[in-house]
């Protein structure tokens, strides 16, 4: 036995001593060492017996590096094998566990299919049942006649009677792990099974590791939640459904508490900063809104007022403008920019793509063309200025000299600078930057958002001791529960009304046999002078490599076989910025009747003349993404249409897409999408490090509210969490792995 652990000794001596002491009488000299608590955060996973370097490498694929990582690799579901049934009471179709002796066993090779089949009969006092395993010849070596065994699985029936097919099994002399209980099922990867993980978990629990709880005991007692050690036992090896549900609730609370602590600390730190107060110039704001060719919605008025009042304060604004597609966020941002420029301060507006940045540049330049406000565009590909001060009648100046352009920013020749993340590069210095607007923030990615806010705090704004006011905007409506959970450090303004005169987009789910009818409808719309979007899915990262080929083939097929008489443009992510811009300019100027595109059109592209959007394989997209696509049409007073093409016949798919037919309200769609896909996929934070168990409970309003209350109380008692060192350590680890706003 000692020889087995010999090589392991040199990898982790403390665990070696624990194992030895659990096997042999404990020498007094080792007693103290054995009883020292071991830090599960630091014990490398390949230091555990039977987890050698080979398995250590496999575990890294699921982000398991330490014992703690493995303990926090939670099951995503459970098989209920807890009901043990006598063999003569078995019923076809039920899930059951039987226990008995192997009365017959054989290994058969089928020459036709070249398959190894293990077949054995298990008998108890009441009868006998057959079990078969395919291509698992090692089973016959273990299940020899006379061996006691437990079988768990679904009971099937054929002409020879009841049988189990590939059931879970283990010798009845063993402690129930894979049969006869609630059996945890884990996320797996090649070379790693749930069965193997369960065995390792059992070994780890036998080590009796000391696991310090980051949540204060008083809070756990008040909320009737188990300690971390008990909760880990409950979640991996529950004796009942109540146990694993209670454990899930405890860990969800722990994650939510850390989210709220992180969020509140960001808010507290932000509020310690100072900004310049930008006075509310009611006269100029009123003049601007009166001159608009449309009337602001009540939601736009309210959101604008909230933002303009925030700008009056010396505490920096940190507000999220949460709006529906086409609800008019740009005007609200323009009003804030106008107030800043009239007070002689600069504004920076940041967009996630060069196409969207240019669109903002053109729209805002047009809005302010009668004002003495210069607007600049700066991306990796462009630097351009409209209405440059002191340039007389010249409205547009294309400037290829970057240094000359940067000098104009430094000397306040540019009032509003629009661009991509290129705006936060080190060589960009402002004269007096007082407002930063980040548009379509969700498209930047989770980690980039945190980075952007940090950069805003340290941006070279030309105002010593001050930081800019910050307005972030999203066109993906965020449900209330998620704003509470994820955006607790931000003030919130809602745009939940559409501009007056906009007609609801008529949306239809189209099966394959109706496709030609849609194509006929497209021809009629084009004949009426309107334009069409056709979108096909490209939703996986791995597919991006094939994007050019797929987009080109679809474009060729439609041009050759479906619409040979029409002009079709092509837009995909592999095009360079200037090429994308040219395609969009050509489409806007009606050079193309139809634009074939991938998901690059999801956000921000504004073509009022487009009245139809066709989305191929619509079942492959989330509802919120479909709503974003749909928002590319319906941007004028013309009736617009969205056709969702799908070949999926599943009830779930039909029900999901029917939501798009029923409503054009983005907030209702977001709520439905949240329930269907879960918060992780909805927010795009699966890569953030936030555990699935927390994701599953992000919709629990009561849990969020309680965790926020507790977080506020803890920070009030100890602003730096110095009184709660374990919780502080947990928060540091959390904020390293998970990026919040």
List alpha helices for 12-52, DSSP H. 13-23, 28-34
Looking at the fold, whether 641 and 524 belong to one and the same domain comes out as yes
pLDDT reported for residue 114? 75
Looking at the fold, whether 461 and 522 belong to one and the same domain comes out as no
pLDDT reported for residue 693? 61
Looking at the fold, whether 521 and 470 belong to one and the same domain comes out as no
Nearest in space to 178 (alpha carbons), one of 268, 316, 245, 79: 79
Phi first, then psi: what are they for 597, rounded to 5°?
-150, 160
Looking at the fold, whether 338 and 401 belong to one and the same domain comes out as yes
Q: Is residue 265 part of a domain?
A: no
Provide the 10 A C-beta neighbour count for residue 111.
Answer: 6
If 0-12 CB within 10 Å is exposed, 13-18 middle and 19+ buried, where does residue 495 land?
A: buried
pLDDT reported for residue 536? 82
44 three-state secondary structure: strand
Q: CATH number, domain at 166?
A: 2.40.50.140
Q: Is residue 710 part of a domain?
A: no
Q: Is residue 303 part of a domain?
A: yes
CA–CA gap between residue 599 and residue 616 (Å, rounded): 11
Is 376 in contact with 409 (CB distance < 8 Å)? Answer: yes
User: What is the Cα Rg of the chain in Å?
Assistant: 32
The pTM of this model reads: 0.74
Strand 182-185 to strand 77-80: parallel, antiparallel, or no bridges (unpaired)? antiparallel
Looking at the fold, whether 412 and 289 belong to one and the same domain comes out as yes
Q: Is residue 246 part of a domain?
A: no
CA–CA gap between residue 729 and residue 721 (Å, rounded): 9
Angle at which helices 354-367 and 329-342 pack, to 10 degrees? 60
Q: How far apart are the first and last CA of the chain?
A: 53
Looking at the fold, whether 32 and 136 belong to one and the same domain comes out as no
Helix (H), strand (E) at residue 356: helix 354-367
Integer CA distances (angstroms), 374 to 336, 338, 369, 385, in order? 15, 11, 9, 7
Is 234 in contact with 262 (CB distance < 8 Å)? Answer: no
Integer CA distances (angstroms), 512 to 34, 598, 616, 630, 728, in order? 68, 20, 10, 20, 56
Which of 180, 199, 217 is the endpoint of a domain? 180
> Which residues is 508 bridged to in the sheet?
643
Which of 22, 49, 71 is the endpoint of a domain? 71
Q: CATH number, domain at 348?
A: 3.40.50.300
Kindly tell me the sign of the dihedral angle through the C-alpha atoms of 225, 228, 229, 234. Answer: positive
Looking at the fold, whether 107 and 60 belong to one and the same domain comes out as no
Looking at the fold, whether 65 and 87 belong to one and the same domain comes out as no
Long-range contacts of 133-138 (CB under 8 A, 24+ apart): 133/166, 133/167, 134/166, 136/166, 137/107
Q: Is residue 741 part of a domain?
A: no
Looking at the fold, whether 95 and 67 belong to one and the same domain comes out as no
How many whole angstroms from its chain centre is CA 152? 36
Looking at the fold, whether 302 and 366 belong to one and the same domain comes out as yes
Looking at the fold, whether 522 and 561 belong to one and the same domain comes out as yes
pLDDT reported for residue 648? 86
Q: Is residue 205 part of a domain?
A: no
> Which residues is 124 bridged to in the sheet?
127
Take residue 411 and report the two structure tokens written for it.
């000397």
Provide the 10 A C-beta neighbour count for residue 421.
Answer: 18
Q: How many domains does the chain have?
A: 4
Q: Is residue 186 part of a domain?
A: no
Take residue 322 and report the two structure tokens written for it.
């949460």
List alpha helices for 292-429, DSSP H. 298-311, 329-342, 354-367, 402-410
Q: What is the mean pLDDT of each run of 10 residues along the chain (741 residues)?
A: 37 42 37 46 76 84 87 90 90 92 88 81 94 88 91 91 92 88 89 89 81 93 95 94 92 89 86 93 93 92 96 94 87 96 94 84 90 89 66 48 87 91 83 91 50 72 89 83 75 86 90 94 96 77 52 87 95 82 89 89 75 92 88 89 91 89 90 75 51 63 88 94 92 66 43
How many whole angstroms from its chain centre is CA 39? 31
Rounded (10°) CA dihedral 688, 622, 441, 451: 10
Q: Is residue 158 part of a domain?
A: yes
Provide the 10 A C-beta neighbour count for residue 60.
Answer: 14
Which of 604, 635, 663 is the endpoint of a domain? 663
CA–CA gap between residue 276 and residue 344 (Å, rounded): 11
Looking at the fold, whether 371 and 423 belong to one and the same domain comes out as yes
- The residue segments making up the domain with residue 386 are 282-312+328-474
Is 433 in contact with 349 (CB distance < 8 Å)? Answer: no
């Amino acid at each position: 036995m000692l020889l087995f652990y010999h090589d392991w000794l040199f990898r982790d001596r403390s665990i070696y001593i624990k194992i030895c002491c659990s096997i042999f009488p404990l020498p007094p000299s080792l007693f103290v060492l054995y009883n020292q608590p071991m830090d599960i955060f630091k014990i490398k996973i390949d230091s555990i017996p039977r987890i050698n370097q080979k398995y250590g490498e496999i575990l890294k694929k699921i982000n398991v590096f330490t014992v703690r990582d493995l303990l926090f690799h939670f099951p995503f579901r459970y098989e209920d094998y807890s009901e043990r049934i006598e063999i003569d009471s078995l019923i076809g179709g039920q899930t059951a566990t039987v226990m008995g002796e192997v009365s017959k066993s054989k290994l058969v090779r089928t020459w036709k299919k070249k398959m190894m089949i293990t077949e054995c009969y298990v008998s108890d006092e009441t009868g006998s049942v057959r079990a078969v395993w395919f291509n698992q010849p090692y089973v016959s070596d273990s299940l020899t006649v006379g061996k006691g065994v437990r079988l768990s699985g679904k009971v099937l029936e054929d002409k020879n009677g009841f049988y189990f097919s590939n059931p879970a099994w283990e010798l009845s002399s063993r402690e129930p792990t894979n049969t006869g209980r609630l059996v945890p099922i884990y996320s797996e990867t090649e070379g790693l099974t749930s069965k193997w993980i369960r065995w390792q978990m059992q070994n780890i629990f036998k080590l009796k590791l000391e696991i310090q709880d980051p949540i204060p005991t008083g809070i756990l007692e008040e909320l009737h939640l188990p300690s971390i050690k008990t909760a880990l036992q409950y979640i991996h090896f529950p004796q009942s459904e109540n146990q694993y549900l209670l454990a899930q609730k405890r860990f969800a609370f722990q994650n939510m508490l850390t989210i709220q602590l992180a969020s509140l600390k960001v808010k507290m730190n932000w509020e310690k900063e100072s900004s310049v107060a930008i006075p509310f110039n009611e006269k100029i704001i009123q003049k601007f809104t009166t001159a608009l060719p449309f009337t602001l919605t009540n939601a736009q008025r309210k959101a604008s007022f909230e933002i303009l009042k925030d700008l009056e304060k010396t505490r920096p604004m940190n507000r999220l403008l949460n709006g529906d597609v086409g609800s008019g966020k740009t005007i609200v941002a323009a009003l804030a920019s106008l107030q800043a420029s009239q007070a002689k301060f600069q504004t920076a507006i940041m967009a996630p793509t060069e196409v969207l940045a240019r669109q903002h540049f053109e729209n805002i330049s047009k809005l302010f063309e009668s004002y003495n406000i210069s607007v600049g565009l700066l991306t990796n590909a462009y630097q351009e200025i409209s209405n440059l001060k002191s340039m007389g009648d010249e409205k547009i100046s294309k400037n290829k000299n970057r240094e000359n352009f940067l000098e104009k920013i430094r000397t306040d020749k540019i009032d509003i600078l629009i661009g991509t993340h290129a705006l936060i590069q080190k060589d960009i210095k402002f004269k007096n930057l007082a407002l930063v607007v980040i548009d379509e923030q969700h498209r930047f990615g989770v980690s980039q958002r945190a980075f952007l806010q940090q950069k805003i705090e340290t941006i070279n704004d030309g105002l010593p001791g001050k930081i800019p006011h910050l307005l972030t905007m999203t066109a993906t409506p965020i449900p209330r529960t998620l704003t509470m959970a994820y955006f607790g450090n931000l003030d919130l303004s809602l745009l939940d009304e559409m501009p007056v005169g906009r007609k609801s987009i008529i949306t239809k789910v189209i099966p394959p046999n109706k496709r030609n009818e849609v194509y006929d409808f497209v021809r009629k719309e084009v004949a009426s002078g309107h334009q069409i979007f056709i979108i096909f899915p490209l939703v996986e990262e791995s597919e991006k490599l094939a994007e050019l080929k797929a987009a080109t083939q679809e474009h060729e097929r439609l041009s050759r076989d479906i619409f040979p008489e029409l002009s079709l443009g092509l837009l995909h992510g592999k095009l360079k910025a200037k090429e994308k811009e040219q395609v969009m300019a050509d489409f806007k100027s009606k050079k193309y009747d139809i634009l074939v595109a991938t998901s690059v059109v999801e956000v921000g592209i504004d073509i009022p003349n487009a009245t139809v959007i066709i989305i191929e394989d619509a079942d492959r997209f989330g509802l919120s993404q479909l709503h974003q696509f749909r928002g590319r049409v319906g941007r004028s007073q013309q009736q617009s249409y969205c056709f969702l093409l799908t070949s999926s016949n599943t009830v779930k798919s039909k029900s999901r897409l029917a939501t798009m037919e029923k409503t054009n309200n983005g907030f209702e769609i977001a709520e439905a999408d949240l329930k269907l896909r879960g918060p992780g996929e909805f927010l795009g934070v699966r890569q953030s490090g936030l555990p699935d168990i927390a994701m599953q409970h992000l919709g629990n309003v009561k849990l969020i509210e309680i965790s926020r209350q507790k977080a506020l109380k803890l920070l009030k008692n100890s602003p730096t969490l110095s009184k709660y060192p374990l919780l502080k350590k947990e928060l540091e680890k959390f904020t390293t792995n998970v990026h919040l706003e």
